[in-house]
Amino acid sequence: MTHTPPSTLGPRATQKLQTRQALLQAVLRLTEHQSLGGLSLREVSRAAGIVPAGFYRHFPDMESLGVALVEQSLGGLRTALRAVRVGLTESDEIARRSVEVLAREVRAQRDQFRFISRERYGGMQRVRQAIHDQLRLISEELATDLRSGDVTASSVLADWSEEDVRILTDMIVNHMTSTAAAIVDVPPGRPAVGHQVIATATTQLQLIIVGARHWLDPA
Amino acid sequence: MTHTPPSTLGPRATQKLQTRQALLQAVLRLTEHQSLGGLSLREVSRAAGIVPAGFYRHFPDMESLGVALVEQSLGGLRTALRAVRVGLTESDEIARRSVEVLAREVRAQRDQFRFISRERYGGMQRVRQAIHDQLRLISEELATDLRSGDVTASSVLADWSEEDVRILTDMIVNHMTSTAAAIVDVPPGRPAVGHQVIATATTQLQLIIVGARHWLDPA
DNA sequence: CTATTCAGCGAACAGGTGTTTACTGAGTGA
DNA sequence: TCACTCAGTAAACACCTGTTCGCTGAATAG
């Protein structure tokens, strides 16, 4: 009677998942000084501890591996950003806390974000597309939270057109990716530089918010 | 007695320059669908019409070729941007005209800017450094024009600290690079999409300017 | 006219590449 | 227990890679 499919995976599937993660980790490690397109399938397989032919048990090619990496990385950031906004109504507060979360996330998953920065414009087509799609999702979720919900209570955004809100959130997301790239490039062991980067980014985001507040002002 | 060095280069040097340009052009052509790190020296030499060994007559390696390409590309943009600001005093006008110049330049030198976008975060170390340096120059020149000169006459920036001006111009330059990347990604033969991108970028830049105007306002 | 320079050539080198093939042997389901 | 699935293996395939070497022959300098 105990015919429920095992909620805990068998040793077979577990081991496969581990190897898959080893492949993803290998790419993150190897892309510290070069881009995905500069890696060879053999190099990655070697670093993951399997033979080249074994690679095909997990991905049909390196581009697919890249797409999987994008979804794992940006998916995590997306939920973290969504979580930080619940209960906040002051856009100043949202700005400061969003930059904080971004900084924390980037420092915790440094090589994931280096990978994203690297491949956002530089990478292979499907990888770039995957990044683009994830960023659009983040932008749209931010737009929803800014237009509806408690946030609008203390905001001027209620009067804005959908189009204008999209323009605003696109800019904010672009600013976030620039910030992430800047944090990634901070030399390790120089936390002072990191603080400087975050302070600058926060100021810039506040300037955007001030602009948004006075957007519809009489000239 | 006619010992002046020839102001017009001899056929020898001329031909060498042509081959050098052929190498640069070959890289621009080949990086449409992959990044510089994914190109092989042989591939580039072949596309330029020379034998692999001939490559070394011009560059010691591909990274150096990339640096040369960066300086040629961003050097042009830098002078074009500096030129467009002379005689302008209204920051609104500066914003609109800067985006115009950027868009014109990007469309005229599409593959150069695609290359810059590709390599800004994705590329090899020295290439990234070269891009970073050029962008910092652009940011500093903009800061100088905003602080001194006629511009300040109708601006609030006169009261700003150097640091704050740097923060502002850094953000503007980042916005420009995002815009350039977006324009490059516009599908060819869809000018309507291109107009949309430029309109969005202009609005975003104006929002930044509004923010700057009210930056020191009493809350 | 003569001696020198040097951009580009052709061949060779040791080694890395993606992909296919047939295989092993532990994990699985009935 | 027993057939079968399938993650990982080992070897072979034809091909491309960066770099070096000595050579050519036209442009150059004196």
**Residues A167, B200: C-beta atoms closer than 8 Å:** yes
Parts of chain A belonging to CATH 1.10.357.10: 62-213
Q: Report the residue of chain A nearest B200, measured CA to CA.
A: A167
Q: Which CATH fold would you assign to the domain B7-58?
A: Arc Repressor Mutant, subunit A (1.10.10)
Q: Read off the pLDDT of residues A104-143 as tens digits, 9 standing for 90 and up.
A: 999 999 999 999 999 999 989 999 999 999 999 999 999 9
Q: Read off the pLDDT of residues B118-163 as tens digits, 9 standing for 90 and up.
A: 999 998 999 999 999 999 999 999 999 888 765 555 567 888 999 9
Q: Which CATH fold would you assign to the domain B62-213?
A: Tetracycline Repressor; domain 2 (1.10.357)
To the nearest whole Å, the CA of A213 is away from the closest chain B CA by 8
Of A117, A208, A213, the CB nearest to B121: A117
CA distances A120 to A56, A67, A92, B170, Å, are 25, 11, 28, 20
For residue B210, list chain A residues with Cβ-Cβ distance below 8 A.
210-211, 214-215, 217
CA distances B139 to A3, B84, B152, B172, B176, Å, are 66, 15, 17, 8, 11
Residues 59-78 of B with CB under 7 A from strand D: 61-62
- Identify the residue whose tokens are 């962008």: B135
For residue B38, list chain A residues with Cβ-Cβ distance below 8 A.
35, 37-38
pLDDT of residue A87: 84
- Parts of chain B with a pLDDT under 70: 1-7, 149-155, 219
Written out in words, the top-level CATH class of the domain with range A1-58 is: mainly alpha
Cα-only R_g, chain A: 21
The structure tokens listed for B55 are: 């490559």
Task: Give the percent of chain A with pLDDT over 70.
Answer: 93
Q: How confident is the model at residue A154 (pLDDT cuts 50, 70, 90)?
A: low
Give the helix ranges, DSSP H, for chain A. 11-30, 41-48, 52-55, 62-85, 91-108, 110-122, 125-147, 162-184, 191-213
Reply yes or no on whether the pLDDT at A151 is more than 60.
Answer: no
Residues in chain B: 219
Contact of A178 with chain B, judged by CB distance below 8 Å, is answered with: yes
pLDDT of residue B1: 41
Q: Read off the pLDDT of residues A202-211 as tens digits, 9 standing for 90 and up.
A: 999 999 999 9
